[in-house]
Structure 1
Amino acid sequence: MAPVHKVAVIQWHIKNLDPEYNHARAISYITAAAADGATLAVLPEYHLCGWAPESPLFASLAAQYQTYLDSYCALAKKLHINIVPGTIIEAHKPQSTTTSSIDSGNDILYNTAYFISSTGQILGQYRKKNIWHPERPHLTSSGTDPHEVIQTDLGKVGMLICWDLAFPEAFRELIAKGAEIVIIPTYWGRLDASPAGLKLNPESERLFLDSTLTSRCFENTCAIIFANAAGPSDTFLGMSRVVLPFIGPVRTMGSEEGYAVAELDMSVLDVAEDNYKVRQDIKSEGWYYTYRHETQNTDRNQNPDRRPVDR
């Protein structure tokens, strides 16, 4: 019989450049979710420092990422809960093999999501690949590194970050490798739409998330756990949720601060695959498409100014 997991999505109004405040909020919500029986807690993108890349503090705080990562590992072990601590901006020294590196002083900045097990071990990580265009002057993409699947006690997990949601290729690469659950920490706001887009529909970004999160579940026979930042509704969307095929959102939040615990019934994925046979088709001999990234890209190396359209 397929298991049912209790998972928590967490959202709050993240304070820019205040990791101590944000970290304390995260610990409080994770602890409460664990007390409510959650076996996994997922935080939003940029949950430690928010988004303030023009400040000199942004890069200097990114150099302290290991302290917070270690803290989450200890908390996961203490509470016996799996944690995806949203994303953490990390400062690293540039290497000659780095793809599409953007200098930030002497360091480059990666936007990284980690999966921490309930024993406190880091089982895997993912660096954001599809970088939203206002982020590109500040962050470095994982480029042609392949999407990887992580074996966890909840099943096979893939991780994406925010604007990756817009690229079905990212999902299909994960599904082709067996991912059952896709976790997406996000910092997605109402004003991510341009003035022209907002004129056409002031709620266009809400429509984007509502429709795309559900369609990705159907077309990939997978579950999605989506954690977004919250705050004033004229700017922030919240909308953190757990989504399944057939059902759509199992549990969804508004723009309020807090957390929501949802039951993730893995048997729904079996029903979806029996019905749509997406994974069966992908594995069939002579399948029309491939889902992988080359570790070397000759065209990119010859023309380093070319970039994928990346959030």
Structure 2
Amino acid sequence: MEPPVHNRPQSHKMAPVYKVAVIQMHPKPMQIEKNFAKAADFIRAASQQQAQLAVLPEYHLLNWVPQDPKFRAACGQWETYLNKYRSLAKECNINLVPGTIVELHDAGTDNERLLNVAYFITNTGEIAGRYVKKNLWGPIERDHLSSSSMVPHPVFDTPLGKVGLLICWDLAFPEAWRELIAKGAKMIIVPTFWTLSDCSPAGLAVNPVAEGLFLDSMLTARCFENTCAVIFANAGGPPGKGYAGRSQVCVPYAGALTRLGSCAEGMAVVDLDMKIVEDAEENYQVRADLARTDWHYEYRHSKRDTKI
């Protein structure tokens, strides 16, 4: 017996179609200039395909090698490379989220700290938004990085509408997504450095690609439950080295519009029709519920904001 067909209402709102490039790189450890040159080549190629937005992975400039004695000093170059990306965005007339850039602040003082930062840079080279990673991954990151802690998740006005940024492990926290969409974000961009070996030995014994299942399942669920588009750019790398890849663009109803493999470097350019997001909201009414004055869940920080 065929299941009943439900006629979902569709939004009558006009909505744009954006051409989006998701870039999957294998960052060479501590080879910042070579990694930047490779990223720039990808961005120029995306611009030649008329992409309006290009997104790179987390840690794409240096890889994540905090144990290297030269790592912290290399992070001191963050402003140089941020400005290079600003110039590149203007040159190519493309909006950029250049993965994340690890920034060294107050070097040599008692307040010295490393921040893992994602930027949204407009096609005119302006910085539309800055987000510091909040949810750090175990001692691997917490021993080296400072979190944005109780600072609320920001939403930015961009040439592609209201955008929220998350970084890697942030995506495992539904509270972060709810906070962003409650503030109006319809596109969530997630630069990531997520590997298959992030799974425990017990988990790997059950499924050697458990983290891949985690990512595919979570990204699909998040775009449905938040009626938003998700742009996820992960690192890739040589086979057998544990890279998870799976960089993708996800929307409600369709799931992944494009998905790169687990290992290979590469780029996918896809048309992101935001009408799908509007239709999904018309159907599920998630944002409408969050906007109600009598809504029974609260997505806010209970402590005073802190500055980073």
The normalised TM-score by structure 1 is 0.91
- Residues 1:121 and 2:126 are matched in the alignment: yes
Q: Are 1:166 and 2:172 matched, yes or no?
A: yes
Q: Which residue number in structure 1 is paired with residue 191 of structure 2? A: 185
* 2:211 equivalent to 1:205: yes
For 2:33, give the aligned amino acid.
E
Structure 1 consecutive aligned stretches of length 4 or more whose deviation exceeds 3 Å: 103-106
Gaps of 5+ in 2: 1-13
Partner residue, 1:265: 273
Structure 2 counterpart SS, 1:197: helix
Amino acid at match of 2:56: L
Secondary structure of 1:86's counterpart equals coil
Relative to structure 1, the CA distance from residue 275 to residue 53 in structure 2 (aligned partners, 3 Å threshold; closer, same or farther) is same
- CA distance change for structure 1 residues 187 and 287 in 2, over 3 Å: closer, same or farther? same
Is 1:107 aligned to 2:120, yes or no?
no
| Cα displacement string for residues 173-206 of structure 1 (whole angstroms, at most 9, x for unaligned residues) | 0010000000000000010001111001111000
Report 1:1-311 matches (<5 A): 1-93=14-106, 107-133=112-138, 134-234=140-240, 235-254=242-261, 255-294=263-302, 296=304
- Root-mean-square deviation (CA, aligned residues, Å) is 1.5
Look up the SS of the partner of 2:70 in the other structure: helix
Query: Which secondary structure state, in structure 2, belongs to the residue aligned with residue 74 of structure 1?
Result: helix
Paired AA for residue 90 in structure 1: E
Judge conservation of contact 1:213–1:243 (CA < 8 Å) in 2: yes
Give the Cα separation in 1 of the matches to 2:109 and 2:205: 35
What is the Cα deviation at residue 106 of structure 1? 6.4
Please state whether the residue corresponding to 1:56 is helix, strand or coil.
coil
**Aligned-pair CA distance for 1:68:** 0.3
Amino acid in the other structure paired with 2:279: V
> For the Cα contact (< 8 Å) 2:26–2:60, is it kept in 1?
no
Q: Deviations over 1:117-147 (max 9, x none)?
A: 0000001100000000021100110000000
Contact 1:145 1:294 in 2 (8 A): no
Report the AA paired with residue 246 of structure 2: M
- Measured after TM superposition, the shift of residue 104 of structure 1 is 9.6
2-side partners of 1:231 and 1:166: how far apart?
23
Superposed displacement of residue 3, structure 1: 0.6
Contact 1:59 1:104 in 2 (8 A): no
Cα displacement (A) at 1:107: 2.1
Q: How far, CA to CA, are the matches of 1:104 and 1:281 in structure 2?
A: 47
How far did residue 293 of structure 1 move?
2.4
Within 1, Cα distance between the matches of 2:111 and 2:173? 31
1:162 and 1:104 mapped to 2: Cα distance? 29
TM-score normalised per structure 2: 0.91
Distance 1:203 1:122, change over 3 A: same
In structure 1, the gaps of 5 or more residues are 95-102, 301-311
Q: CA deviation at 1:278?
A: 0.3
Partners of 2:215 and 2:56 in 1: CA distance = 17
| Alpha-carbon contact 1:127-1:141 (below 8 Å) kept | yes
On the 8 A contact 1:245/1:269 being kept in 2, the answer is yes
Identity of aligned residues (%): 55
Query: Structure 2: how far apart are the matches of 1:126 and 1:175?
Result: 16
Distance 2:253 2:267 in 1: 24
Q: What is the distance in 1 between the residues matched to 2:109 and 2:301?
A: 26
